[in-house]
Amino acid sequence: MSASPQDLLRQTGLGDYPLEVLSGGMIGQVTRAGPYVVKTHADPPKGMFQAEARGLYALMQAGIRVPQVYWASHEGLVLEYLEPGQPDWKSLAQMLCALHRTSAPTYGWDDLVFLGSFELPTGTGEDWTNFWAEHRMRPWLEATWTKLGRLGPRIEKILSSPLPSEGPTLLHGDLWHGNVYFAQSGPALLDPSVWWGERAVDLAMMELFGGFPGEFWRCYRELYPIPPEIRRAIPAYQLYYLLAHVHFFGAGYLGAVERVLEQVEQ
C-alpha cells in the first residue's frame, strides 16, 4: 500500500503545506511540507518506516541529533524539517565518537532492521564473526548470487575468516556522507539502519562513496584511535554495503566489489 505526502499529513492532522521534493530519496520519496519532511515509498515493506522511527529514537537516546519523529506507520514517516546550517566536522566527529563508545552485551537487534528497503534478520549473538557472516553478509550474498558470478564463491569463502572485535556498540548502520546533515542546531544523522555491532561497520561505510574529509578523521582518530587490526578489517565490512548496492542498483558495482574483495583476500 502506498500513500501520498498529502495523505500522511491529513492522517496526522498537521495541516496542508506546499510540497517540495527533496534529494536523498534513493529508496523512496522524500518531500518537504513546511516544517515537516514526509517519507513515502511506492510499495513499502511491512514495518520499514516504523523500524526507521525506532532507530532514530535509539540514536536520540544515545545523545545523537536526529529529526524528531511526528508520525510513523506502514504508509510512511513524518519528521521534523531541520533548517540547514554550516558544516561542522569537529562536532560531527565528537558526536560519532560518543555514539561508538556506547556498549551492549550482544550484537544484533530484537526489532526489525532494514538497510534501505531490504529486511535483515532479527536476533542477537555473542560471537561477532558468526553473527556478521550469518545475519549480515549471507542475506546479501543470497540476494545477489545470480549477479556475482565468480565473485560469489570468493565472498562465501571469506565468511568464516575471524574478525577482530572491540565489542558491541550502537551503529547508525548506513553512515555514508549523504546521511549526515548539517543543521542550524549542529550535525544530525538521517536514514539510519540501527543495530548493535562493531564500530568498524560504520567506519567502513564512512570511507565509501566520497567519504568524510581529513578534518573529520583527524578529530575522530584523536578522540577514538582506530587500532591497526580494526583498520585492516574495514574492507570486509565494505563488502556488505557494496553487495547492497549490487542488489538495489545493479552490476555496475561489481568492479568495486572485486577491488575490495582483493584487499580482504590479501
User: 3-class DSSP state for residue 154?
Assistant: helix
Q: Residue ranges of the alpha helices (H) in 121-181? A: 128-131, 138-148, 151-158
162 φ, ψ (degrees, to nearest 5): -65, 145
Contact between 173 and 193 (Cβ < 8 Å): yes
Q: How far apart are the first and last CA of the chain?
A: 47
Residue 200's closest CA among 172, 161, 159, 242?
172
Please give the positions annotated as active site: 174
What residue has cell string 556522507? 177
Strands laid side by side in the 123-125 sheet = 123-125, 107-109, 195-197, 169-171
The answer for residues whose C-beta is within 8 angstroms of residue 201's C-beta and 6 or more apart is 171, 173, 237, 240
Could you give the CA distance from residue 152 to residue 185 in angstroms, rounded to a whole number? 45
Residue 56 corresponds to which amino acid?
A: L
Under 8 Å between Cβ of 140 and 155: no
For 182, the enclosing helix (H) or strand (E) is: strand 180-183
Q: How many CB atoms sit inside 10 A of residue 126's CB?
A: 11
